[in-house]
Structure formats: C-alpha cells, structure tokens
A and B are shown apart, each in its own frame.
Chain A
Amino acid sequence: SQQGEEDPQALSIQEGENATMNCSYKTSINNLQWYRQNSGRGLVHLILIRSNEREKHSGRLRVTLDTSKKSSSLLITASRAADTASYFCAIVAAGNKLTFGGGTRVLVKP
C-alpha cells in the first residue's frame, strides 16, 4: 500500500511543549503534504515538501523529509491549546492524487 503510516496515533502534551509526529510511506513520491483537521471539520493545508527538499519551516511548524528512509516528521514548537487537532500526512506519488496516512490525534492541555 502507498498509504502513509503515522506515529504516534495519539499524543497528549502540555501547552508550551513541542509535539513531534512521524509519517512513513512505501513508494517513491513527488511530494509529501501535512494537513490539520479539527474535530468534524475539513482539512487545512499546512506544508508541502517536495522530494528534493529535506526541511521546510512555516511559523511554528517544521517538516523534515528523508527519502532514503521514506519518512517525514512534523514538529510543532511551543504548542498551544488551539493546536489540538488531528494531523495527517499525505503523499503524492503521481499526478495530484493524495494518499493519506492514518493521522495523529494531538491534544494540547492548557
């Protein structure tokens, strides 16, 4: 399966702490994307990292990509209660079709 696998499935941290989640996949990719989903809502695009890139930053978010290990990580620094959500990685192997991982549910406690 091309589907990304995410680890951990759930994460509970205190406000101010960092949150790290990982995504592994099995095929070659064009790019990998991270999305956030608040409970019962649609998805919000966070970051896209291309296969020839190793690291990207956006505000408090840092994404790394290791194509040799077929893995990516998302780091949220100085977390806030508003960061509570599910986070999904999605790979694009060809065209623009997204294949999502299982997601990591993050709970940030105030």
Chain B
Amino acid sequence: GAVVSQHPSWVICKSGTSVKIECRSLDFQATTMFWYRQFPKQSLMLMATSNEGSKATYEQGVEKDKFLINHASLTLSTLTVTSAHPEDSSFYICSVAGRGFEGAPQETQYFGPGTRLLVL
C-alpha cells in the first residue's frame, strides 16, 4: 500500500503556541487526505477532509479557525493547531485516499504513523 509519513512524530509545546503537523504521501497521489484525532484508548474521530487545491471540509464541532488545514499538493497536507491548549493534547493521524494500488479497493485509506501532541 501507499507509504504515508507524518512529521513530527511527537511534539511538546507550551500553551498558546501554534504547532504544524505535516502529512506526506510518499508514493501515492492523494487526491483526498483526512485528519483524525484519537484520545488514549479511544477511537479515531474524523476532524476534516481535504481535497487537493480546495478548502477542507470540517466535521461538526471541529473549529476550522483552530485547526487549519492546507492541502497544497497531491503529496502534502498540513494541520496547524493554532494557540494550542492542554485540551488539544492528542494523537493526530492523517490518511490518504486516491486511486487504489493494484489489487486494493479504491476506497482504501492509507494511514500515517501519527503525531503525538502534548501541550503543557
């Protein structure tokens, strides 16, 4: 399947600062990228869906001014957590979707390894 990377893998920051997380699709043209957050021992919650070159679609309850998403190319999407607070501490995971790899259903999403954010 597709290789997806995230950077950084973990970050610790002070309350009030902004943090940018990158999601890169290394061998796959990702027409759509998804951002999820996951609290400890809980499921993944979709935050937003972004299509290359257009504005992201945010899920209900997710503040778009708080979580800025940019999907500038078919291989890169960024999530910026603005003015981070301790309650933003979480595990953020991206996934990519596009034309499926040979043998894989087109609906398959490929996930990055996640970024753990801790806001002090």
Residues of A within 8 A of B (CB): 3, 30-31, 33, 35, 40-45, 48, 88, 92, 96-103, 105
Contact = CB atoms under 8 A, between A and B. Distances in A.
A98 B93 contact: no
Interface residues of B, number: 27
A98 B46 contact: yes
A97 B35 CA distance: 11
Q: Which label, helix, strand, loop or mixed, suits the secondary structure of the A interface?
A: strand
Q: Which label, helix, strand, loop or mixed, suits the secondary structure of the B interface?
A: strand
Contacts of B104: 45
Given A42-B4, A42-B112, A45-B109, 19 more contacts: A3-B43, A31-B105, A31-B107, A35-B111, A40-B91, A42-B113, A43-B44, A45-B111, A48-B105, A92-B107, A96-B107, A97-B46, A98-B34, A98-B44, A98-B46, A98-B95, A98-B109, A100-B45, A101-B43
